[in-house]
């Protein structure tokens, strides 16, 4: 037991120290299991809930592929459950609130699912103060985070939610998962470098809080996946376990640092823009597919800027009218207020340019330490058969360029999308239409 957990074992037993504080890291997740088959596992959490009112909550597809195995495993551990299958659901705050109200009489929620179903379950269990145990039907960083991403009036919002009490991954189930889901999972985790470079740059230029710890937890598995991504679809358990660990650690990062900076920066802004503005024309791309392609674009920016020996900012001409055109009257003020924290006036521009003139050489050296060559990311995705371009996503060059150009407006998070705008070079990173 625990062979496939790797560094996660140290987080669970409290023996891993933060690089920023040197204090032991404690995470509120009681149990994480990654095993070849859950039928061979005796769960600790089942000892608490075997005589309580339990509900299995799952999406239809997840239950079809994984439900019987989970039920057999729970029965082996003397746990009985009622079952609710979500034939149709929305990743909206209203849907999650209505569902929570209808499920308030249960003591424990046992989820079988991935991204969207996990997000809904976390919101439900948080609202109802229920224990939450997640059986991952496919990989999702959402499993371990303390927030969920839900639509509220057409805008994706991060909403506080419950951190699960236990997370279970069955490698045999992953081995038999649709290849597209596994490829998407790889796309989702290879943003370590772009997130780290974005966040560290924000720290160096703007004194944003920064912590290397969540990235350091991923270095070993990332290096392994970059070399062995082709083995993911071959059903290699060690490779699937590495992919599982990186996915979970991507979410655990938010617990460690209290924000999503370690797993969601410029590349996720592009993905959010696609989700928000493609509307009915959305080609049903998966989140990880979008993030993988966006990661390549951000990586190209970062590698080019860090290669440059000089960096100089210019003033931007942005006002609330741009936000009104993009978000409408109801949301424009809120979005503009959020953006203004990284909208620099002339004095701030002068300060940053002076800082860059004196220190950019030193900053480049610090950043290069954590930078991945873009070709390494592309190679890993290609060898797994994952999406690497907007054409692979079936998104037009025109719309994808719109996402690259406008996505920096979505949040207050500073990234190389902002740097490309402040240096008047954003056009260099657009794709052919």
Calculate mean pLDDT across residues 242-261. 92
Residue with tokens 């998104």: 395
CB 200 within 8 A of CB 210: yes
**N-terminal to C-terminal alpha carbon distance within the chain:** 51
CB 82 within 8 A of CB 54: yes
Calculate mean pLDDT across residues 165-178. 94
329-381 residue pLDDT tens: 888 998 999 999 999 999 999 999 999 999 999 999 999 999 999 999 999 99
Res 278: pLDDT: 85
Res 282: pLDDT: 66
Calculate mean pLDDT across residues 152-160. 75
- Tell me: pLDDT of 299 over 90: yes
Q: Report the C-alpha gap between 371 and 229 in whole angstroms.
A: 19
CB 303 within 8 A of CB 373: yes
pLDDT band at residue 151, thresholds of 50, 70 and 90?
Answer: confident
Which residues, 6 or more positions from 180, have their beta carbon under 8 angstroms from its beta carbon? Answer: 286, 289
- Tell me: pLDDT of 143 over 90: no
- Look at residues 395, 197, 177 and name the one whose alpha carbon lies nearest to residue 307: 197
Of 140-149, 194-203, 238-247, 311-320, the least confident: 140-149
Q: Domains of the chain by range and CATH?
A: 3-176 (3.40.50.1970), 193-210+261-429 (no CATH)
Of 64-68, 155-159, 290-294, the least confident: 155-159
- Look at residues 229, 240, 274, 246 and name the one whose alpha carbon lies nearest to residue 37: 240
pLDDT band at residue 121, thresholds of 50, 70 and 90?
Answer: very high
DSSP class of 262: T
- Tell me: pLDDT of 129 over 70: yes
CB 159 within 8 A of CB 166: no
pLDDT band at residue 71, thresholds of 50, 70 and 90?
Answer: very high
Res 330: pLDDT: 82
- Tell me: pLDDT of 155 over 90: no
284-296 residue pLDDT tens: 899 999 999 999 9
Look at phi and psi of residue 23 and say left if phi exceeds 0, alpha if psi is from -120 to 50, else beta. Answer: beta
Res 1: pLDDT: 59
What is the C-alpha R_g of the chain? 22
CB 34 within 8 A of CB 5: yes
What mean pLDDT is reported for the chain? 93
Calculate mean pLDDT across residues 29-56. 94
- Tell me: pLDDT of 174 over 70: yes
Of 98-112, 155-169, 214-228, 357-371, the least confident: 155-169
DSSP class of 166: E
Res 391: pLDDT: 96
Calculate mean pLDDT across residues 15-20. 95
The two structure tokens encoding residue 388: 């690497």
- Tell me: pLDDT of 280 over 70: no
Backbone φ and ψ for 278, nearest 5 degrees, come out as -80, -25
Show the CA angle centred on residue 50, arms to residues 46 and 56, nearest 5°.
Answer: 80
Residue with tokens 């029965």: 75
The DSSP bridge pattern shows strands 82-86 and 31-35 to be unpaired
Q: Report the C-alpha gap between 3 and 57 in whole angstroms.
A: 29
- Tell me: pLDDT of 70 over 80: yes
| DSSP annotation string for 109-164 | EEEEE-HHHHHHHHHHHHHHT-EEEEEESS--GGGT-SEEEEEETTEEEEEE-PPP
- Look at residues 195, 193, 425 and name the one whose alpha carbon lies nearest to residue 310: 425
Torsion of CA 229, 231, 234, 240, to 10 degrees: -80
- Tell me: pLDDT of 409 over 80: yes
pTM here is 0.93
- Tell me: pLDDT of 142 over 80: no
Res 140: pLDDT: 76
SS percent in the chain: helix, strand, coil, step 5: 55, 10, 30
């Amino acid at each position: 037991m625990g062979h496939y957990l790797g560094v996660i074992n140290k987080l669970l037993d409290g023996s891993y120290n933060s690089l920023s504080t040197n204090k032991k890291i404690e995470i509120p997740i009681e149990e994480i299991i990654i095993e070849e088959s859950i039928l061979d596992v005796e769960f600790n959490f089942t000892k608490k809930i075997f005589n309580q009112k339990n509900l299995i909550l799952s999406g239809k597809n997840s239950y079809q592929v994984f439900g019987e195995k989970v039920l057999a495993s729970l029965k082996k551990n003397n746990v009985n459950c009622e079952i609710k299958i979500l034939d149709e659901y929305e990743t909206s705050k209203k849907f999650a609130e209505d569902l929570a109200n209808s499920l308030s009489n249960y003591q424990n929620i046992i989820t079988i699912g991935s991204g969207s179903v996990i997000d809904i379950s976390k919101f439900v269990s948080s609202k109802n103060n229920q224990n939450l145990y997640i059986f991952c039907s496919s990989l999702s960083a959402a499993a371990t985070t303390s927030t969920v991403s839900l639509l509220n009036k057409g805008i994706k919002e991060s909403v506080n939610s419950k951190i699960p009490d236990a997370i279970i991954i069955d490698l045999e189930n992953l081995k038999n998962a649709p290849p597209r889901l596994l490829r998407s999972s790889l796309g989702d985790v290879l943003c370590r470098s772009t997130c780290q470079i974005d966040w560290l740059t924000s720290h160096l230029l703007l004194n944003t809080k920064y912590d290397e710890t969540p990235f350091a937890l991923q270095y070993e598995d990332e290096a392994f996946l970059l070399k062995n991504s082709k083995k993911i679809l071959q059903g290699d358990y060690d490779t699937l376990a590495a992919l599982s660990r990186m996915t979970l650690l991507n979410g655990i990062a938010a617990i460690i640092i209290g924000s999503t900076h370690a797993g969601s920066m410029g590349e996720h802004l592009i993905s959010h823009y696609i989700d928000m503005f493609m509307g009915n024309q959305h080609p049903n791309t998966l989140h990880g597919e979008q993030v993988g392609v966006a990661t390549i674009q951000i990586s190209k920016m970062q590698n080019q800027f860090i290669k440059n020996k000089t960096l100089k900012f210019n003033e931007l001409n942005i006002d609330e009218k741009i936000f009104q055109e993009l978000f409408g009257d109801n949301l424009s003020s809120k979005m503009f207020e959020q953006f203004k924290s990284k909208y620099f006036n002339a004095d701030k521009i002068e300060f940053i340019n002076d800082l860059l003139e004196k220190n950019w050489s030193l900053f480049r050296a610090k950043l290069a330490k954590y930078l991945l060559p873009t070709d390494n990311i592309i190679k890993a995705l290609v060898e797994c058969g994952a999406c690497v371009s907007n054409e692979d996503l079936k998104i037009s060059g025109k719309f994808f360029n719109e996402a690259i150009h406008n996505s920096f407006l979505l949040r207050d998070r500073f990234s190389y999308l902002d740097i490309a705008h402040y240096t008047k070079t954003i056009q260099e990173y657009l794709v052919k239409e």
